[in-house]
Chains A and B, each alone.
Chain A
Amino acid sequence: MVRALKAFQGLEPIRWRVGPPVHDVRALAILAFAGTTTMFEALQERLTGVFDRLTKRGVLKESDVAEALREVRVALLEADVALPVVRDFVAQVQTKAVGADVLRSVTPGQMVIKVVHDHLVETLGRAAEPINLRAVPPVPLLVVGLQGSGKTTTAAKIAKRLQDKEHKKVLLASLDVYRPAAQQQLKVLGEQAGVATLPIVDGQMPVDISRRAIQAAKLQGADVVILDTAGRLHIDEAMMTEVVAVRDAVRPTEILLVADSLTGQDAVNVAKAFKERVGITGIALTRVDGDARGGAALSMRAVTGCPIKLMGSGEKLDALEDFHPSRVASRILGMGDVVSLVEKAAETIEKDEAEKLEQKLLSGQFDIEDLAKQFRQMRKMGGMQGLMAMLPGVGKVKKQMAEANLDDKLLARQEAIIYAMTKKERRNVNILNASRRRRIAAGAGVQIQDVNRLLKQYRQMSDMMRKVGKLTKGGKISPQALRSLIPPQGFPR
């Protein structure tokens, strides 16, 4: 599995044709194998040119490392890591990377990347730190951040998690008296999460609401009070003073800065200001289910020293995860979040099915029904776009797919063609004569050419699978051998 996937990724550059897509065979093959892979590939791609020259020389000099690190710098900046943080980061990595160990190692290029990745993980924090609830109940938690960062949703998610997983009794209270219907929003979310919210009293100001919340929590015997605040700009003196007053009134054990993982260079200014003025104790990153590379995580961790405690990963109230430094690190470096992909695959694909499929793929007994199964599983996993977002080296593949017009609609159409076949036909496509093809096309609402195209793709795919199967049986597989599988001008139409 691993070998085969790597082999496919090694086939750069892939020539994708524009027009009626045949190339999805390749894409499917890649996806079919997208179980596991080694990290570092995307970044490695970037650095290939640099290191190719290096390996020829055999010896890695300090200046060579510096050249490679310039590429790392660009990768980090493209991922929205703030410039001052990038500067420090690169300087520190350079110190580590020019150490004798790296230069003398067999694969210096890979060593440099490993150093970068390890240092990134180290900077982001080793493991997730839990929310601090060590205080006499009711324990107050304060949630702060800019407008639109996702504070209210995050507050509700934390409440739900504490209640469902840690069996805490939680009270939610909104101190946002500015944005229209903000308190109402928290109330509705509380109802959805099955968590109590503080009754809304019109006209009451934030400090008073927070005191009332603590009082109510005491009376109700709540373990935790989560105080959701209004969104505020870090340079808005009056609003920052207000949140400090709330803090002093309730003395929270935890002040969480909720920050959008899509944030750009400004992340450092925001995090620094909230750290200095309010004294945040942790960070909750939101929208990590987007397709940003999330460099803000590194920026904010670096300038505040505060741990990133949680990640919001979806619109549903249970979409809250512990922070995984290594995954975020891979993403920042453009290496794709492979672990998450595997987890997602494990959730949606029945394991036996997957193993059976792999066996079939490698033995070459891959019938068209299996192809339909694959289409189905891909859709379950969030369609092409969802998958692409998690694959390593995603930028390039995504672009190629877009150029190839490969979208989910196409998948659906091809699935329809397969469904229009009888069972017998699916087991043995050789019986498909002209009249059967005509019937299938009509049944699927497509042209006969579309049916023919699918069959052609299927044949190529199973051919290729058989060859790959043979090649990988012996163990190692050379890129040259794999390249030989690909017709010189890409796939025929």
Chain B
Amino acid sequence: MAESERRTGWLGRLRQGLARTAAALGTGLGGVFVRRRLDRAALEELEEILIRADLGVATAAAVTERLAATRFDREVTEQEIRQALADEVAAVLGPVAVPLVIDTARRPHVVLVTGVNGTGKTTTIGKMASRFRREGRTVSIAAGDTFRAAAIEQLKVWAERSGAKFFSRAQGSDAAGLAFDALTKARADGDDVLLIDTAGRLQNKAGLMEELRKIVRVLRKVDATAPHTVLLVLDATTGQNVLNQVELFRDVCEVSGLIMTKLDGTAKGGVLVAVAAKFGLPIHAIGVGESIDDLQPFDATAFGKALVGQV
């Protein structure tokens, strides 16, 4: 990827993305609200902007209704209405924008990373490991994706890049057993953080979800308080299915926080608004690229602005 594009902030990239989307769709946001009355038709257009950002029909309607409650039938400028829309989104997301805090009393603080296939779990672990290392912490990584071909090798490269300790077993071996050993060792060494990768799994596969439950169960045999953080990694390109993912993963392994990846594309990840409203789970960070620094803290205000394409 070109250096120049790398340097652009993620917000900038999001904006670029949205500009492209809008242009492609032929109904640029710019032309929609140049001083006009906020009537039913205008609200409908607003609602559609939100739907296109993956908020889902019901959430988009709810957000627009809130806007209508104070401004219906008033003359509004484009800038004003976008700001208001961004504010509404930020108001929902603000309370859940919580950074991931490592509890230094825990040695190690165990972070279990879960999610559907291909959402970016392994890459996210690599990025987190680098961040923690840079903060001067000792980090262990357990290659718990023992299913996918070469997942172990992939994570090993990340461990080497970041200078983290690395635990693995042969492909096809028991992930829970590996997690048990890794935690036992990390505990003995007094490491600060243990990051545990898991194989990607669709949330409707009962057998695979049961395996995840087993990992948690086994970890608790070593440390009754583990895992201290259970992350669910979500893909910004995913649509309304994210709601199912959050619900089922939460039920199975007590997800404590979310990370959304791939926000450097044209997808807006607006389903997070629905997720926040429904589940209230903390959103810790977002992924905006493949390099080590592309994991950023989640900022509700910036996210709201990017979502509605406010410049």
Tell me which of B119, B207, B237 contacts A264 (CB under 8 A): B237
| A188-B204 contact, Cβ under 8 Å, with A150-B118, A180-B158, A262-B241 | no
Residues B238 and A262 in contact, CB atoms below 8 Å apart: yes
Residues of B within 8 A of A287 (CB): 116-117, 202
B177 interface hit (Cβ, 8 Å):
no
Could you tell me if A182 and B202 are in contact, using CB atoms closer than 8 angstroms?
no
B-side contacts of A235, CB under 8 Å: 16-17, 20, 265-266
Residue of B nearest to A261 (CB): B241
Q: How far apart sit A238 and B1, CA to CA, in the bound complex (Å)?
A: 6
Cα distance A185–B147 in the bound complex, in angstroms: 11
B240 at interface, CB cutoff 8 A: yes
Task: Report chain A residues within 8 Å CB of B268.
Answer: 265-266
One digit per residue, 1 when the CB lies within 8 angstroms of any chain B CB and 0 when it does not, for chain A 68-91 equals 000000100111101110000000
Q: Which of A79, A83, A149 contacts B52 (CB under 8 A)?
A: A83
B121 → chain A, closest Cβ, in Å? 9
Q: How many A-B residue pairs have CB under 8 A?
A: 167
Contacts of A186 in B (CB 8 A): 149
Q: Which of A266-323 contact B (CB under 8 A)?
A: 266-270, 272, 287, 289-293, 295-296, 315
- Near A by CB (< 8 A), chain B positions 96-132 give 116-120
Per-residue contact bits, chain A 207-235, to B (CB 8 Å; 1 contact, 0 not): 00000000000000000000000000111
Q: With A and B bound together, what is the CA distance between A256 and B277 in angstroms?
A: 38
CB-based nearest A residue for B235: A148
- Measured CB to CB, the nearest residue on chain A to B49 is A83
B224 within 8 A of A: no
The answer on a CB contact under 8 Å between A148 and B118 is yes
The answer to the question of B157 belonging to the interface, with a C-beta cut-off of 8 Å to chain A, is: yes
Is B284's CB within 8 Å of the partner chain A?
Answer: no
B2 within 8 A of A: yes
Any A CB within 8 A of the CB of B218: no
The count of chain B contact residues (Cβ–Cβ below 8 Å) is 55
Tell me if A12 is interfacial: C-beta within 8 Å of chain B: no
Q: Which residues of B lie under 8 Å from residue A260 when comparing CB positions?
A: 118, 235, 237-238
The residues in A between 63 and 113 inclusive whose CB is less than 8 angstroms from any CB of B are 74, 77-80, 82-84
- Are the CB atoms of A265 and B239 closer together than 8 Å? yes
1/0 contact string of B140-174 vs chain A (CB within 8 Å): 00000001111101111110000000000001000
Cβ contacts under 8 Å, A189 to chain B: 149
Nearest-CB residue, chain B, relative to A264: B239
With CB as the reference atom, state the residue of chain A lying closest to B51.
A83
Chain A residues whose CB sits within 8 angstroms of the CB of B202 once the complex forms:
287, 289-291
Residue numbers in A under 8 Å from B24 (CB-CB): 268-269, 272
Within A133-192, the residues touching B (CB, 8 Å) are 146-150, 178-182, 184-189, 192
Cβ B204 vs Cβ A385 within 8 A: yes
Instruction: Evaluate contact between A290 and B116: CB separation under 8 angstroms.
Output: yes
CB pair B48 A83 closer than 8 Å: yes
Contact of B25 among A84, A237, A267, A296 (CB under 8 A): A84
Q: Considering the complex, give the chain A residue whose CB is closest to the CB of B54.
A: A264
What residues on B are CB-neighbors of A182 within 8 Å?
A: 150, 154
Q: Which residues of A contact B204 (CB under 8 A)?
A: 289-291, 385-386, 389
B266 to chain A: which residues have CB within 8 Å?
Answer: 234-235, 266, 269-270
- B230 interface residue per 8 A CB criterion: no
CA distance in complex: A342, B154 (Å): 40
**A239 at the B interface (CB under 8 A):** yes
Which chain B residues (229-278) contact chain A, with CB distance < 8 Å? Answer: 235-241, 244, 262, 264-268, 271
Contact between B118 and A291, CB atoms less than 8 A apart? no
Contacts of B48 in A (CB 8 A): 83
Q: How far is the CA of A287 from the CA of B237 in the complex (A)?
A: 14
Please report the C-alpha to C-alpha distance between residue A272 and residue B241 in the assembled complex, in whole angstroms.
Answer: 22
CB of A382 closer than 8 Å to a CB of B: yes
Query: Within 8 Å CB of A295, what residues of B?
Result: 239
Q: Which B residues are in CB contact (< 8 Å) with A369? A: none
B237 touches which of A83, A146, A180, A386 (Cβ 8 Å):
A146
Contacts of B290 in A (CB 8 A): 147, 178-179
CB B310 to nearest CB in A, in angstroms, measures 19
Q: Is A358 an interface residue when CB atoms closer than 8 A count as contact?
A: no
Interface residue B206 (Cβ < 8 Å from any Cβ of A) = yes
Is B56 in contact with A78, judged by CB distance below 8 angstroms?
Answer: yes
Bits for A181-207, please: 1 = Cβ < 8 Å to B, else 0: 110111111001000000000000000
Interchain CA distance A471-B24 in the complex, whole Å: 58
- B118's partner among A84, A149, A239, A266 (CB-CB below 8 A) is A149
Q: Which of B37-63 contact A (CB under 8 A)?
A: 48, 51-54, 56-57
**With the chains together, A181 CA to B24 CA distance in Å?**
35
Chain A residues, CB < 8 A from B265: 146, 233-235, 266, 270
In whole angstroms, how far apart are the Cα atoms of A149 and B1 in the complex?
19
Residues of B within 8 A of A408 (CB): 206
With a CB–CB cut-off of 8 A, which chain A residues contact B51?
77, 83, 265
B271 touches A264 (CB 8 A): yes
CB distance from A167 to the nearest CB of B (A): 25
Give the complex CA separation of A272 and B23 in angstroms.
13
Neighbouring B residues of A266 by C-beta, 8 Å: 54, 236-237, 265-268
A80-B241, A263-B238, A291-B203 known; A147-B264 Cβ under 8 A? no
Q: A265 vs B24: C-alpha distance in the bound complex, in angstroms? A: 13
Would A147 and B153 count as touching, CB distance under 8 A? no
B2 near A238 with CB under 8 A, answer yes
- Min Cβ gap B103→A in Å is 30
Report the minimum CB–CB distance from B285 to chain A (whole Å).
Answer: 17
Contacts of A148 in B (CB 8 A): 117-120, 235, 262
Chain A CB within 10 Å, residue with most, of B20, B147, B267: B267
Residues of B within 8 A of A147 (CB): 118, 120, 262, 290
Known: A262-B238, A262-B241. A181 touches B116 (CB 8 A): no
Which chain A residues lie closer than 8 Å to B20 at the CB level? 235, 269
**When the two chains form their complex, are residues B150 and A181 in contact, meaning their CB atoms are under 8 A apart?**
yes
Q: A383 in the interface, Cβ–Cβ < 8 Å?
A: yes
- Chain A residues closer than 8 Å to B207, beta-carbon distance: 383
Report if A264-B267 is in contact (Cβ < 8 Å); known contacts: A147-B262, A236-B1. Answer: yes
B21 within 8 A of A: yes
Enumerate the 8 nearest inter-chain pairs by beta-carbon distance, A residue then B residue, closest first: A264-B239, A148-B118, A80-B239, A180-B157, A185-B150, A188-B149, A181-B153, A266-B267
- 6 A/B residue pairs, CB under 8 Å, sorted by A: A77-B51, A185-B153, A266-B236, A291-B202, A385-B205, A408-B206
Given A84-B25, A146-B237, A266-B268, 13 new contacts (CB under 8 A): A146-B262, A149-B118, A179-B290, A180-B154, A182-B150, A262-B116, A265-B51, A269-B266, A290-B241, A292-B238, A383-B207, A385-B204, A385-B206
